[in-house]
Structure 1
Amino acid sequence: MTRPLLLRFVTVVGSSASFFLLLSVVPAYAQSVPGRGSDQAGLVTGALMSATVGGELIAPWLAARCGHRMLLGAGLLLLGAPALVLTASQSMGWIVAVCLVRGLGFAFTLVAGGALTASLIPPERRGEGLALIGVMAGVPSLVGLPLGSWLALHTGYGPVCTAAALLALVSVVAVLGLPGREAAQGPSPGIFAGARSGTLGRPTAMFAVTAIGAGIIVTFLPLAVAPGRSGVVAAALFVQPAAATASRWFAGRRADRSGAAGLVVPGLVVSAAGILVVTRTDFPVAVVMGAAVFGAGFGITQSATITLMYSRVPASGYATVSALWNIAYDAGMGIGAVGFGTVAGSTGYPWAFALTALLMLTALVPAWWDRTAARDQPAPARGPRVVTAEEKQ
C-alpha cells in the first residue's frame, strides 16, 4: 500500500465511476426525443464501445511514445470533459461524437492505467494487487449503473452528466503524483504480434470465450426470466458481479502462492457450470444461483489470465497485455450479446444458454495447449521492477 498505489486507486475509482454513471443514462437521453426508437439508444452504446476497442488497439503505441502517466491523464480528460457538454444538444451527431471521445478516453485509462498498476506492484504480490484494483473498479460499476439512472430521473440529465465529468476530471490531480515515464526493459510487442504469440494469445482467447457469458447474462437474463419476476433478475444481476469481485480477490491471493496457471481450468469449468444452471429460467433459485456460480468462475478467470499474462512479458510489454486483456473483455461481451440473440431466436433461451455453456468449455483446448507449452519452455526473464521514490526512502 504505497502512496503511488493509493493514488492509482483514486484514478481507478474516478474513471470507472464516470464511465458507469452515464452508461445507461446516455442511451436514455438519446431516446428521450419524441419519435426516436430503441435503435438510437443502441447507436450511442455501439459508438461508445467501438471507440473503446479502437482506443485499446492504439493505446500501447501511444504509451510507448508518451508514457503511461501522460496517457492516463489524457484518458481522464477525454472521459470527463465531453460529459460537461453532452446536454448542449440532443442531435444524434452530437451525442455520438461525445460517446466516441469518451470511449477513446476510457480505453486510454484502461490500458495505460493497467500497465502502470503492474509496475507499481511487486511481482510476488501481483495477483493480489491486480485483484484489489479489480475490486476498486468493480464497486463503482455496481453503484454507478443504478445511481446514474436514479439521478437522471430525479435531477435531470444535466446534473448527472456534470457529476460524471467531475469524477474523471478531479482524478487527474492524482495522476501528477504517479511515477513518470517507465524505463523500457526490452522491446515492446505490438497488439497483433502479442495476439499471434502463444504466450499471450492463448490466455487472451480463454478469457474472451468466458467474457461471452458475461455479455449474455447482462443483456438477456432480464428477457429470459418470466415477466413479473423483476426481483429475481435484480438479485441475479447483483450477485453475479458481487461474486466475481469476491472470487477475483481470492484467486489473486491464491495465484501469488501457488501460481496463476493452475486456476485457469477451474475458472473456466465453474463459469460454464453457472451458465448451465441458468438454463432453468423457470426456477428463480436456479437463476440466482447460476448467476452467482458464473460470477465466481468469471472472477477466477479474470484474475488468473491477467496475472499469467503480466508474468510472461517484461515491463515494456505491460501496455500490450493490458490492451489485449481489455479487448478480450469488450469483444467477448459484444460478440456474446449479438450471437446469443441470433441463436435464442431459433432455439429459445434455455437451449441457447446450454449451447453457450458448451461453447465456453471449448476454452479448455487453449488452456491445455498453454499448460503443455509452459512445461516445455522456461519462463522469460522478467525485467527489474520500477522502484518508487517512497520505497527508496
Structure 2
Amino acid sequence: MVVLFCFSGFALLLPVSPAWAVNGGADEFGAGLVTAVLMAATVLAQLCVKATLRTIGWTRTLALGALLLGLPAPLQALSDHLLPVLLTTALRGAGFGIITVCGSTAAAALAPRGRQGAAIGLYGLAVALPQVILTPAAPWLVGTFALPAIIACGVLPVLALPWTRPLGHAVEARTHSPSPQDGHVRSPDSTATVLRRILLPLTVLLLVTASGGAVLTFAPQFTATPALAATCLLALTTTAAAGRWGCGALADRIALRPITAVLVATASAGLALIALAVGSDSHTVLALSAGLLLLGAAYGGLQSLTLVQAFNRAGAENRHTTSVAWNIGYDAGTGLGSLTLGLAAQVATFSAGFATMSALMAAALLAVLLNGARPTAAPSADSRPPARSGTHRSRIRP
C-alpha cells in the first residue's frame, strides 16, 4: 500500500504539473524543466537515503518520503507561476527519491530465495498500476476539471502513512538478520567497483526511461486532442505494466541478455514509429499507436530486467548501492528525456527528438550484443534458487 499510494500521487501529477506551468505562461522548455527539476531533486534525495536510514530507521524514513511527496501538492495548486511550481516540485522529488530507493531495496530484501525476479516484477506492477490508471486519465481530467483541484489530489501519498510502520519493521528484521548460506558475510565493495559491474544495465535503463519520460511529459503537447493524448498514455502505461511484471517473472527462468536485446530493439523501432507519426499528417494515429505499444513493452520490461541484472552483477552485499544507482539511472533518464525533448521541440521538432532517441537505443542494442561474454559477480545465496535433489544450482545469466 505504501508503494501504491505514493506512486499514485506521483503518476497523477507527472503530466499535470508541466501543464500547470504552461497554463501560467511557461513554454515547452519550461514544461520540460518541471519534470527535470522533479528528477534532479529525486536523485539528490536518493544519495542521502542510506544516511537517513542509519539515522532515523526504516519506518520514519518511509513516513518522511510519503509526507514530502504528498504535502507540497496542495501548495502547488495555489500558483501556476513557474518558480512556485518548480519549488514544490523539488520537495515532491525529494520524497519520491526516498520512496523509490526504499521500495526497490525492500523488494529485493524481502524476496524468497530464487524468486528475486518475480518479487521485482510484482514491485514493478505495483509501481506501474497507478500509471496505467491515472497518467492516461490526466489529459481528460485537465480538460474536465479545474487544474488546481487535480493538483491538490497529489496529496495521495499521505494516505500511505499507516502502512509505513509494518513495512519498515519487516525490512529491518530481514536486513539486520542476514543468514548467508556460505557461512560468512561479504563486505560491500566500493561504489566505483559496483558501478563498473552494472554500467551496461544502467545505460540501457537511462535511455529507455528517457524515452518513456519524454512521452509521459509531452503527450498532451504532441497530440491533437485530449482524447488522443489519453489513448497514447494508456497504450504506453498498459504495455509497460504488463512488460514489467512479465519480464520480472521470466528473469528467474531464462537468460537475460537475449530478451534484453529484443526489448532494446523494440524500443528503437517504437521510437522511430513515434517520430514518423508526430512528423507526418497521414496515418498518424496508426503509426503513433503502434510505436507507443512497442515502446511501452520495452519501457516496462527493461525496468525489471535491468534491476535484476544489476542486483545479480553486484551481489547481495552491495544491494543498497545497486538500488540507489538503479533509481538514479531511472530518474535521471526520465528528467533528461523530458528536458531534451522539450529543447528539441523548441529548437527543431518533436519528431527530431524522438528520432534521436531511436538512434541512441540502436547504439545501445549494439552494446548489449557485444557485451555477452563479460563475467559478472556470483549471486549471493539469497538470490540463488534452492538446489534440488540430483541437480546443481542454476545461475541466472546476464
Range class of TM-score, shorter chain: 0.7 to 0.9
Deviation of the 1:306 alpha carbon: 0.7
How big is each residue's C-alpha offset from its partner over 1:298-352, in whole Å with a ceiling of 9 and x where there is no partner?
Answer: 2221121111112233444323222222222222233334444555677755555
State the match for 1:211 in structure 2: 209
Give 1:49 shift.
2.4
Q: Deviations over 1:14-51 (max 9, x none)?
A: 10012223334444555656xx4447655544432221
Aligned to 1:73: 63
Q: 2 CA distance for matches of 1:291 and 1:275? A: 8
> Equivalents in 2 of 1:151, 1:73: separation in Å?
29
Distance 1:239 1:358, change over 3 A: same
Q: 1:146 to 1:294 in 2, by over 3 A?
A: closer
1:48 paired residue number: 38
Mapped partners of 2:305, 2:96: distance in 1: 23
**C-alpha separation between the residues in 2 aligned to 1:69 and 1:60?**
13
Among 161, 167, 174, which residue is 1:172 paired with? 161
Post-superposition offset of 1:148 = 5.7
- Give yes or no for the alignment of 1:237 onto 2:237: no
Instruction: Give the count of matched residue pairs.
Output: 367
Quote the Cα distance in structure 2 between the aligned partners of 1:208 and 1:131: 19
Could you say if the C-alpha distance between residues 17 and 321 of structure 1 is closer, same or farther in structure 2, counting changes exceeding 3 Å? same
For each residue in 1:161-203, what CA deviation from the matched residue of structure 2 results, as whole angstroms up to 9, or x when unmatched? 55432x32221211111215222754445655533x2x21221
After the TM superposition, which residues 111-126 of structure 1 pair with which residues of structure 2 at under 5 Å, given as runs? 111-126=101-116
Aligned to 1:5: none
The offset of 1:280, in angstroms, is: 3.1
Residue in 2 aligned with 1:107? 97
Does the Cα contact within 8 Å between 1:31 and 1:41 map onto a contact in 2?
Answer: yes
1:19 to 4, 10, 31: 10
For 1:388, the equivalent position in structure 2 comes to none
Confirm or deny: 8 A CA contact 1:244 1:300 kept in the other structure: yes
Decide which of 244, 248, 255 is 1:252's aligned counterpart.
248
Unaligned stretches of 5+ in structure 1? 1-9, 386-393
8 Å Cα contact 2:139-2:227 kept in structure 1: no
Q: Distance in 1 between matches of 2:69 and 2:253?
A: 37
State the match for 2:48 in structure 1: 58
Q: Distance in 1 between matches of 2:326 and 2:4?
A: 19
* Structure 1 residue 64, shift from structure 2 partner: 5.0
Cα contact 2:9–2:70 (8 A) shared by 1: yes
Does the C-alpha gap of structure 1 residues 287 and 157 become closer, same or farther in structure 2, counting only changes over 3 Å? Answer: closer
Structure 1 residue 252 displacement after superposition: 1.6
Letter in 2 for 1:53: V
For residues 202 and 247 of structure 2, what CA distance do their matches in structure 1 show? Answer: 18
Query: Do the aligned partners of residues 301 and 91 (structure 1) sit closer, same or farther apart at CA in structure 2, a change above 3 Å counting?
Result: closer
Identity %: 27
Give 3-state SS (helix, strand or coil) of 1:124's partner. coil
Q: TM-score, normalised to structure 1's length?
A: 0.79
Find the aligned partners of 2:59 and 2:193 in 1 and give their Cα distance: 24
Report SS of the residue matched to 2:372. Answer: helix
CA distance in 2, matches of 1:119, 1:334: 28
Partner Cα distance (1:141, 1:322) in 2: 21
| Equivalent residue number for residue 291 of structure 2 | 290
Matches within 5 A, 1:139-150: 139-145=129-135, 147=137
Provide the secondary structure at the position in 2 that maps to 1:133.
helix
CA contact (8 A) 1:186 1:314 kept: no
State the distance in 2 between where 1:291 and 1:26 align.
Answer: 22
Give me the whole-angstrom Cα distance separating, in 2, the residues matched to 1:90 and 1:350. 28
Structure 1 Cα separation of the partners of residues 19 and 226 of structure 2 = 20
Aligned-partner Cα distance in 1 for 2:131–2:146? 20
In structure 1, the residue matched to 2:194 is: 194
Aligned counterpart, 2:394: none
Map of 1:355-374 to 2, 5 A cutoff?
Answer: 355-368=356-369, 370-374=371-375
Residue of structure 2 aligned with 1:274, choices 262, 270, 291: 270
- Scaled by the length of structure 2, what TM-score is found? 0.78
Contact 1:190 1:320 in 2 (8 A): no
Matched to 1:116, the amino acid is A
- Answer yes or no: is the 8 Å Cα contact 2:110–2:171 preserved in 1: no
Shift of 1:255: 1.3
Question: 66-75 or 245-254: which moved more?
Answer: 66-75
| Superposition RMSD in Å | 3.3
Letter in 2 for 1:82: P
Shift in Å at residue 138 of structure 1?
1.3
Structure 1 residue 84, shift from structure 2 partner: 4.7
How far 1:96 moved relative to its partner? 3.7
Separation (CA, whole Å) in 1 of partners of 2:142 and 2:341: 30
Contact 1:131 1:248 in 2 (8 A): yes
Contact 1:80 1:168 (C-alpha < 8 Å) held by counterparts: yes
What residue identity is the alignment partner of 1:287? L
